[in-house]
Amino acid sequence: MSCCDQPGLIPVEQALEKLLNAAQPITETETEMVAVGKALGRVLAADQQSTVDVPPADNSAMDGFAFNSVDCKESGQTTLPLSQRIPAGVAPQSLQPGTAARIFTGAEVPSGADTVIMQENCQWDSDQVILPAEPKAGDNVRPRGQDIQSGSIIMCRGHRIKPQDMGLLASVGIAEVPVYRRLKVAVLSTGDELVEPGSDLPPGHIYNSNRYTLAGLMEAQGFDYIDLGIVPDNFEATEQALRKAAALADCIVTSGGVSVGEEDHVKACVEKLGSLDLWRLAIKPGKPLAFGNVLGTPILGLPGNPAAVFVTCAIVARPFLLKTQGANDILPTPIQVIADFDRPKPAKRQEYLRAMLSLDENGVAHAQIAGNQSSGVLSTASVGNGFAVHSLNGTITAGEPVPFLLFSDVLY
């Protein structure tokens, strides 16, 4: 896994591939059962199979009248006596030949009937119904098993459960599902210049923002976030914090403190307790990224600048952590929008520009740069709604397509 000896910068895709190859998903024994109603964002630990057909029987898509299409005249209206009334939730009788049944949306279509006509197209009283000419056989009947057949796999192991998945699981009668326990991620910030918000700011200091950005990212992904706060810039405190993190967590994420600087103790500490590779990624903001282990627990060392932390966590750390969590849908979906700006110089590092989408009068999405793109500037990540990607070695021309990642697609 060593990359230190590579002369150039590592492209983001290559770094992601290395990280994902190294990721060790939580094993199948580390699962728990959760109620489907509480399963949002959790990762399925086993394929889910349906034991029923959905719908379980032919049912009506409308309020109207059920009948057999053979009883209808080929032309002109047909009058049929009403032989039963079938509200939703009631098991119907077989339909007597030559009759119709009053039926309601969601109700089971009786055997012997093959078609439903919506009531707006009929005339009826309590005894009989007049059906319009030439009804189409099969109309307004949702056939048994249309959505799901008994025995089929409806959701795979590794699926992250979204709201509609909760509905789908419930629709086949599944009340609880096995999921992997939440991934425990320990987060620590390094830097003697850091002060917690809410206190005064002495000269030479800045407020710690990375702790909060990372807390939000971990919570949004449903991880069990272990906040180890700010670690002082000295070897002993760093070692103590790393040992604690390794004992408590499945993964460790740090911000700041991983470079070749004399004041950086994380590198020396991790090398004492495990191993560390320093990568130089072709990513901007970002570049330095450390990956290794502390007493066997994987550690990701992110840069210290606020925007660099945001980008490297969303783009690089998130897929690694999601794979370790056991998820299989871990990469965002880049789309293309029209650039409203020029970047004529080929990018030496792939740049994730904080940007805003807006629609023009034709409904076409355009991306504007959200402002200052310095790695220290977080405000543009707050006003933007995604990353316009200036691809490695590529250029961006106004009016041409540019890849875009919506924040909603890289935060959750």
Locate 50 and state its tokens: 């349906």
- Given the rule CB under 8 A, which of 9-17, 122-130, 192-200, 339-347 is the region that contacts its own copies? 192-200
Q: In whole angstroms, how close is the CB of 210 to its own copies at the nearest point?
A: 7
Separation in Å, CA 26 to CA 85, 177, 292 = 54, 17, 18
Phi, psi of 267, rounded to the nearest 5 degrees: -60, -50
Separation CA 361–CA 181 (nearest Å): 47
Rule CB under 8 A: say whether 374 interacts with its own copies.
yes
Rule CB under 8 A: say whether 83 interacts with its own copies.
no
Interface residue with its own copies, options 292, 298, 301, 306 (CB under 8 A): 306
Q: What is the DSSP letter of 313?
A: I
- Residue of 84, 56, 58, 55 whose CA lies nearest to 137: 58
Rule CB under 8 A: say whether 8 interacts with its own copies.
no
Rule CB under 8 A: say whether 297 interacts with its own copies.
no
Rule CB under 8 A: say whether 175 interacts with its own copies.
yes
Q: In whole angstroms, how close is the CB of 146 to its own copies at the nearest point?
A: 6
Residues 9-38, interacting with its own copies (CB under 8 A): 36-37
Rule CB under 8 A: say whether 244 interacts with its own copies.
no
Distance, CA of 227 to chain centre: 23
Rule CB under 8 A: say whether 137 interacts with its own copies.
no
Rule CB under 8 A: say whether 243 interacts with its own copies.
no
Rule CB under 8 A: say whether 139 interacts with its own copies.
no
Q: Which amino acid is at 106?
A: G
Is the CB of 180 or the CB of 310 nearer to its own copies?
Answer: 310
Separation CA 39–CA 166 (nearest Å): 7
Q: In whole angstroms, how close is the CB of 86 to its own copies at the nearest point?
A: 8
Separation CA 289–CA 22 (nearest Å): 15
For residue 55, whether the previous peptide bond is cis, meaning omega lies within 30 degrees of 0, is yes
Q: In whole angstroms, how close is the CB of 76 to its own copies at the nearest point?
A: 27
Q: In whole angstroms, how close is the CB of 227 to its own copies at the nearest point?
A: 7
Q: In whole angstroms, how close is the CB of 304 to its own copies at the nearest point?
A: 6
Rule CB under 8 A: say whether 82 interacts with its own copies.
no
Q: What is the residue-wise DSSP string for 253-287?
A: EEES--SS-TT--HHHHHHHHEEEEEEEBSEES--
Rule CB under 8 A: say whether 128 interacts with its own copies.
no
Is the CB of 273 or the CB of 337 nearer to its own copies?
Answer: 337
Alpha helices in 53-162 (DSSP H): none
Rule CB under 8 A: say whether 104 interacts with its own copies.
yes
Binding residues for its own copies, rule CB under 8 A, total 113
Collapsed DSSP state (helix, strand, coil) of residue 167? helix
Rule CB under 8 A: say whether 47 interacts with its own copies.
no
Place of tokens 């994380």: 266
Rule CB under 8 A: say whether 144 interacts with its own copies.
no
Locate 376 and state its tokens: 């220290």
Separation CA 273–CA 320 (nearest Å): 22
Residues 325-344, interacting with its own copies (CB under 8 A): 333-337
- Residue of 126, 113, 123, 138 whose CA lies nearest to 77: 123
Rule CB under 8 A: say whether 43 interacts with its own copies.
no
- Given the rule CB under 8 A, which of 66-74, 93-101, 132-140, 214-222 is the region that contacts its own copies? 214-222
